[in-house]
Amino acid sequence: MILTGNEIAREVSRRRIKISGFNPARLSTNSYDLSLGSTLLKYTEDVLDPRVENSYSTFQIEPDGYRMRKNDFLLAESREYVGSDHYVPIIHAKSGTARLGLFVHVTADLIDIGSYGKITFQLYSTLPVMLRPDWLIAQVSFWVPKGDIELYDGKYNGSEGPVASRAYLGK
């Protein structure tokens, strides 16, 4: 079962959903819009290896934006901190974002119950596109779990900024 926008607002006020800087104007019928933060991460290795920590650089989006090239891959951060101990947050790209040729969170859209932090967006551009801080780039919906809840206590909890792969750490 998915929460409606009105129910998301109620659960934020009850502190069962956490969204920093919550703005009711960003609610839709069944999701909340997330904005792009200012930090980007780019891998610097020629070949990425999941068994080791791969090198990367981070940088800030300039005030006039950052031009993402066609077929480029970056990790980015949400401006907001998001999480819940009661619901499963799922990240989706906004249709307007996808229509500009930018894929957001193609494979890692499921956020574990109990995880709280900035969302790391996986960005893949099929066309050149300008990235600008505060762009409403994605949306989060909240789903009701069935069964006993075990809170996430893993390697990505408490994310600050875009977080590179930690696959080398195992589960």
Tell me the pLDDT tens digit for each residue of 146-165. 999 888 877 777 778 887 77
Tell me the pLDDT tens digit for each residue of 1-46. 999 999 999 999 999 999 999 999 999 999 999 999 999 999 999 9
Instruction: DSSP for 86-144, please give it.
Output: SSEEEEEE-HHHHTTTEEESSS--BPPTT-EEEEEEEEEESS-EEE-TT-EEEEEEEE-
Range of the domain at 73: 5-45+55-148
Would 166 be classed as within a structural domain? no
Would 161 be classed as within a structural domain? no
Would 159 be classed as within a structural domain? no
Would 116 be classed as within a structural domain? yes
Would 139 be classed as within a structural domain? yes
Please report, rounded to a whole number, the percentage of residues in the chain having pLDDT higher than 70: 97
* pLDDT at residue number 106: 62
> In total, how many domains does the chain have?
1
The reported pTM is 0.91
Would 94 be classed as within a structural domain? yes
- Write the single-letter amino acid at 58: T
List the CATH number of the domain containing 32. 2.70.40.10
**Which residue has tokens 């090198």?**
55
Would 31 be classed as within a structural domain? yes
Would 165 be classed as within a structural domain? no
